[in-house]
Structure 1
Amino acid sequence: MDTIDRTLLAELTRDAAQSYARLGEAVGLSAPAAHDRVRKLRKGGALHAVEARINPHAVGKTLLAFVHVDTSGWGKSPALMALADLPEVEEIHSVTGDTCMLLKVRVTDSEALEGFLARLYAIEDVTATRSYVALSTYLERPPQAGITADLTIRQDRAAR
C-alpha cells in the first residue's frame, strides 16, 4: 500500500460516488489507472465495500448508546451474536477490560433503549449491562487509510 493507494481510499471515504476521472485527478493518474488501482484495492481486501452513510436523525434514530455487556461466560454466544440481526445494533465488539462485549446501538428514544436492554437481559448468559448515552457526537467516521507517524513510544523516549 503506497501513498497513492492511501489517497484513493481517503478520497473514496470522503465521497464514494465520485468518478474515476475525479479520483485520478486527486492522485495524478488517468481515470483507467485510478480504476485499476481501486480494483486492486478491492481484490486485495483493503476496500470492502462502497457504502451510503445514512443520517440517523432522518430515519428517526436520534439516541446513540454504547452498551457494555457482562456475561457469565466468554460472551460471544450465538444468542448475543444474533443481536447483529437487529437494525439498531451498529457494532458488536469483544473487548478487554471490565466488560465482555461493547455494543454501539442507535434507537429512536429512551423507551426503545429500555426495550433493547430488556431484550439483552433475556439472553441467558447476560449478567449486567452499563449504558452510556451520547449527548453529542463530534466525530464519527469510517476507518481512515492514513497512518499517523510516530505514535509508538520508543524505549529511548520512554526512558527520559
Structure 2
Amino acid sequence: MPNEIKETNTVKQVRHQPAKLDDVDRRILGILAQDSSRSYVDLGQELHLSAPAVHDRVKRLKRDGVIKATVAKIDGCKVGRTLLAFVLVNTKNVVSTKRLLSLGNLPEIEEMHTVAGDSGVLLKVRVRETEGLEDLLGKLQDIEGVDGTRSYIVLSTFVERGPDPGE
C-alpha cells in the first residue's frame, strides 16, 4: 500500500498505511525475519505452497514496502566497530534538526530518529573506540543549532529484532 507523505511545518513525515496481510503472508515474514536466505522451494515446502506462489507473495510484499530489504546482519564487533551507543541530540528548532539529519550518511550512524520528549533526535551509532565516539560527538556539536548531546554506551545487548509480523 502506498505511504502518505505529509509536509508539516516541522520535518517531512511519512504516515505508513498498514498492508493487508493474511496468515500466509505473516508466516512468510516470520520465517524470513529469522533466516532471509531461505529459498522459495524451502519456504513452499514448509507452507504447503508452490515455489512460484511463494515468489509472487514475496515479490508483492517487497513491492508494497512490507519487506524493505534483504540484508546480511553484520556483527559490529567482528568488523572492528566494538562500541555501540545511543546519542540523544538536543536541537534549537526544526532548521537545526534538518541540518542534523543531513549527517545520516555517516557510516557510524546506524539509525536516526526524530523523537518526542526532551531531545529532538535519537541516534544509534557504532564506532571502533571511544575516540571515534568523541569525534562523532564533535561533528554533531559543530552543527549550528545543536544545543547538546547525551550519550548512552551499550554494555550488553539481549534482544535486537524487527517487528513481529503477527497480528
| Same fold? TM cut 0.5 | yes
Partner of 1:158: none
Q: Out of 97, 114, 117, which is 1:76 matched to?
A: 97
Residue-by-residue CA offset, 1:89-135 (whole Å, 9 max, x unaligned): 01110100111110000111111111110111000110011000010
Q: CA deviation at 1:142?
A: 2.8
1:61 corresponds to: 81
The aligned counterpart of 2:139 is: 119
Q: Is 1:90 matched with 2:107?
A: no
Deviation at 1:47, TM superposition (A): 1.2
Q: Look up the SS of the partner of 1:76 in the other structure.
A: helix
Letter in 1 for 2:135: G
Select which of 34, 44, 54 maps to 2:54: 34
Aligned residue for 2:40?
Answer: 20
Q: Does 1:48 pair with 2:68?
A: yes
State the distance in 1 between where 2:101 and 2:50 align. 44
Residue 106 of structure 1 is aligned with which of 107, 126, 132?
126
Larger radius of gyration: 1
Q: CA deviation at 1:41?
A: 0.9
**Alpha-carbon distance in 1 for matches of 2:62, 2:154:** 34
Normalised to the residue count of structure 1, the TM-score between the two structures is 0.86
Q: CA deviation at 1:144?
A: 3.1
Q: Distance in 2 between matches of 1:56 and 1:26?
A: 32
Letter in structure 2 aligned against 1:96 = A
Identity %: 48
The one-letter amino acid of 2:151's match is S
Name the SS for the 1:38 alignment partner. helix
Post-superposition offset of 1:76: 2.6
| Alpha-carbon shift at residue 34 of structure 1 (Å) | 0.8
**Matched position secondary structure for 1:23:** helix
After TM superposition, where is structure 1 displaced by more than 3 Å over at least 4 residues in a row? none
In structure 1, stretches of 5+ residues that fail to align are 148-160
Q: Deviation of residue 138 (structure 1)? A: 0.4
TM-score by length of 2: 0.83
1:82 deviation in Å?
Answer: 1.9
Root mean square deviation, CA, Å: 1.2
Number of aligned pairs?
Answer: 146
